[in-house]
A and B are shown apart, each in its own frame.
Chain A
Amino acid sequence: MKDEQMKDELYWQSVIYAREVIYQQQTEELMQFIAEAENPAKGVGQVVSDLVNSIVEDGIQKGVRFTRPTIQKLFQTLISDVAELAAIQKVIQVSSQKEVDRLVNEALIRATEDYAMKVKEKQQGNPAVRDAQENEATFKARNANPEGRMQEPTPRGLLQQ
């Protein structure tokens, strides 16, 4: 399968999965979350961020790689779906196209911010990532002080080979 086709299929399968959650499995929970959110755009953004995050995590566990364009396309599609459903169910009140435009655009930034924070938290809590960061810091320190390179301890694991 070509790369573009794979991305396209991944996108649509993600949309199908997310719509099952939005319209069938957790409709009431999601709408309640939005109703209780600090503001509607933040609620919609967080719901979509959670959805996309779970989809991407699931994909990574299965060896599937999402690209940034795919994730952002998912954000936009799902924000449209969730915001529209919330409006139909009167969870959020919109009376003009201008209000709708403002809502979905703010929700896009809210979702991006929430997702970025999730990634940061995940990274900070991931031992493998911490090790990688330590290794990177060590590498930089070595380059900054070439004379000290011989004094560096042998990297972990090297002696076991």
Chain B
Amino acid sequence: MGLLDGFSNGLSDFGDYVGDAFDSGVDYVSDFDFGSFTQPVTDFAERAFDTFVYDTDNGLDPFFSLGGDASGSIWQDGYDAIADMFSDESAESGGGNGPESDSGVSPQDGVKEVEVISIKPEEINEADNAKNFVQSLPKEEGDRLDYRLNKGFGLMKKNKFTPEEMQKWINETLDDNGYDQDTDYTPEDPIKQSQSLAEVSSKIKPITKSDQMDYQDQYFKAKLDGIEAERNMGLIDRAKRDIMGSSGEMLVGGLGAWYKANQAEKTAEEKKRENELNRQNYIKQAYISKSGTATGKRGGFA
């Protein structure tokens, strides 16, 4: 029996739908990835939740408001940010999400567009946060590097980079941008360093296309290093993405290179969870297939 009686009661029935999905064939194909939540938006939702709703992690009761005005203008700020992030202007300048896109960099009075980066398909899952991060960069070049440095630092903290790793990344970034840390800057606590990055960035020379790509390579390298450490904790979600593919559709023919390479290392509990994820996806496909949504007909379950 599960935690919620009402939820558990339906579990056994769903098994039939899974079988039906195999029998009838799953013909549903999604053209788009509906799971592309960008880091700034999820961060915003997280902060808003902690401000207006509750945080049971800290021992507060559900539905205990933390104060603040839930009808305040903070939401509009969020919508404005989304409007900026997905503006038509970005699309016209080469914005997009597909790996087929070019770098989108076009010199124009020292201002470069960094809306899209080239990512190999197999790197999309690995560099998901990094891609979102790069796409979230503001347009104004003057703010870009400052934002990039601080945002990159924040992401590394969130991904549990060690202070030494953060220190190394910051130092390398400063070096690569023409800043002499040995004479102009005294490496101290990484947190203090990050606070002074805003000052540092104002001295940095205008970024070139080459700098930009180097930075991105560097960021991805740091990010991928971090993912190595993250793997042990994030196997479940990563397996889910690998099983489902970037489009959210089940990859019937195989589970992907990463999944295969790491399957042997997974524990029995993780395999059990993967099976559940696998089953879940078939349930979803079965619902859609059975209800005729792929063909425009409606059937439904008897």
Contacts and interface: CB of A to CB of B under 8 A. Distances in A.
A122 B70 CA distance: 12
Contacts of B280: 12, 15-16
A131 B57 CA distance: 24
Contact of A16 (B7, B49, B53): B7
Interface residues of B, number: 66
Contact of B283 (A19, A105, A109): A19
A17 B11 CA distance: 9
A138 interface: no
A119 B65 contact: yes
B34 A80 contact: yes
B62 A62 contact: no
Interface string B93-113: 001111000000000000000
A108 B42 contact: yes
Given A58-B4, A58-B6, A87-B34, A68 B56 contact: yes
A64 B71 CA distance: 28
B128 interface: no
Interface stretch (B153-161, B197-205, B287-295): B287-295
A50 interface: no
B70 A116 contact: yes
B4 A59 contact: yes
Contacts of A33: none
12 contacts: A16-B283, A23-B291, A58-B4, A68-B54, A81-B34, A88-B30, A97-B33, A98-B86, A100-B34, A109-B45, A123-B64, A126-B63
Q: Which are the 5 A-B pairs with shortest beta-carbon distances?
A: A23-B287, A102-B86, A13-B7, A116-B52, A116-B70
